[in-house]
Amino acid sequence: MKPYLQAFRLLVLLGWLGPAVTTPADEAIWLEGESCTSHSYNQHGWYCSTTDLDMRLCSPGEPEVSSGALLGHYHNSGVGATAAFHNVTLEGGEYTWWLRCSTFYSVQSYRIDASPWLPMNQDGREHLNLNKTGIDIRFLGWIKVCVTNLAAGNHSFAIRIEQSNKPGSSEAHGYIDCMCIANYGWAPAGSMAPGQDPAPGPTNWWVLRPGDDAFSSNSITDMSALLDKPAGSHGFLEQSGDGFRFGDGTPVKFWACGAAVVSSNLMSQQARFYAKHGINLVRLHPVEGNLGVLLKNGGTGERYLDPAALDRLDGWFAALKQQGIYSTWSLFYPHVITTNDTYPADLYAELPDRGAGKSTSGMANFMQELQDSQWLFAREFLTHTNRYTGIAYKDDPALAVVEAHNEDCLFWHAPLNDLANRTGPYPLHSARLRQLWMQWVAAKYNKAGRGPQPNRSPARSKVQVASEGKILSRSQ
């Protein structure tokens, strides 16, 4: 061996060229919410009630809520809370912080050590309904808070609850079930901590831990190449016999799913995930639930949609379109009106409350004013130009289907039962429906030469109707 090679070998053996490079060991720190170092969560009696909440087992020995306990906070006037986990010792490196917390209209922020508070995305990897008897605001899910580099030593992790972003709500609420800080590709599944997966076997369930997909070009299950990009490149969708085709004659079949709008930082990733699995159509239900009701300019009377909510939906639509995925929109469930809508005050007062407005469920099927209100919303929305695509929705073939009316009729949730009762909760709407019925009967049988009997003429109705069809009064 040549002398300089012998010298180099000796330096390596003695470590004079520096310390050997080692791969950090897998590290995962699991913390229960109730074990935090300090907090101002109020453990509200209703929000955290073990009587109301569902703590059942999702598999033998595996509770849906980790350790069977939650750190929770609820305040109906927007007063928030903070919780901190101090002296968390880490080996150092790149870590992913996973948090299992409230995922339903909760607004939360986070900080590590003395860093500024940062907004936390609320895109849960699951949505577990904790209410035993129904559905309210108590949901739980995993959130990927952040990926960050941390030095070896002790660190602090803090969560802050703020006022809900639910339209018309002044609540502040949230849970912390558990959290995990890991330096390897661990991903959550239920309330199982790292190392708790059951041993593999022919009779055992295996645990699915869907972490972020790397979208490897070597994947043999990636079907995204089958999708023509962008969506809409073949023209508008048309019916063709029992199937569908595009404007240029290209036949198409859809592999579809329903999905909510995700936060902006996940839009591209989520759209790519759908495309990988061959999904080429995504349904949003309902659109009005995502955008909110039409607002009104107090000076000009102009109606408009919330710009921030509209921008978020624009971004989601554009991300799907880029991956070759078409959209289908269910506009209402149900349509909600407010005092900004030109609906007679006495009729408005009869409608049931729905958030900050009134539900039109059932009534829109025979009240022309409510139908006009729905079309006004649709017009304002569909004529809007998406700033990410530069195309108005009405002109964009990537919008494949618009459901103008969904799960809403006189028999859905049985509004007809109440309308049939003259002294029920909707006397004016009931009167309008009977009047329309009598007008239809009169027109049908007069046309056939079999007019109604004189003593049963619609003209003798107790409801006086203006020439444009609006109720003016109802005699006592």
Q: Bridge-partner residues for 246, per DSSP?
A: 237
- Per-residue pLDDT tens for 339-391? 999 999 999 999 999 988 999 999 999 999 999 999 999 999 999 999 999 99
| CB-count burial class (<10 Å; 0-12, 13-18, 19+) for 100 | buried
Closest CA to 398 of 316, 455, 308, 324: 324
Q: Each residue of 57-78: b (16+ CB within 10 Å) or e?
A: eeeeebbbbbeebbbbbbbeee
Entry pTM: 0.74
CATH 2.60.120.260 boundaries in the chain: 28-182
> Is there a contact between 242 and 222 (Cβ–Cβ < 8 Å)?
no
- Tally of CA atoms within 13 A in the half-sphere of 415 that contains its CB: 21
Locate 298 and state its tokens. 């107090």
111 vs 126: CA distance, rounded Å: 23
At 23 the pLDDT is 53
Q: Bridge-partner residues for 108, per DSSP?
A: 161
CATH 3.20.20.80 boundaries in the chain: 224-403
Q: Which of the listed CATH numbers 3.40.50.620, 3.20.20.80, 3.40.50.300, 3.40.50.150 matches domain 224-403?
A: 3.20.20.80
CATH architecture of 28-182: Sandwich (2.60)
At 64 the pLDDT is 83
Spans in the chain with pLDDT lower than 50? 4-5, 7-22, 59-60, 455-476
Question: Dihedral (C-alpha) 230, 231, 235, 237: value to the nearest 10 degrees?
Answer: 170
At 200 the pLDDT is 77
Cα distance from N-terminal residue to C-terminal residue, the chain: 115
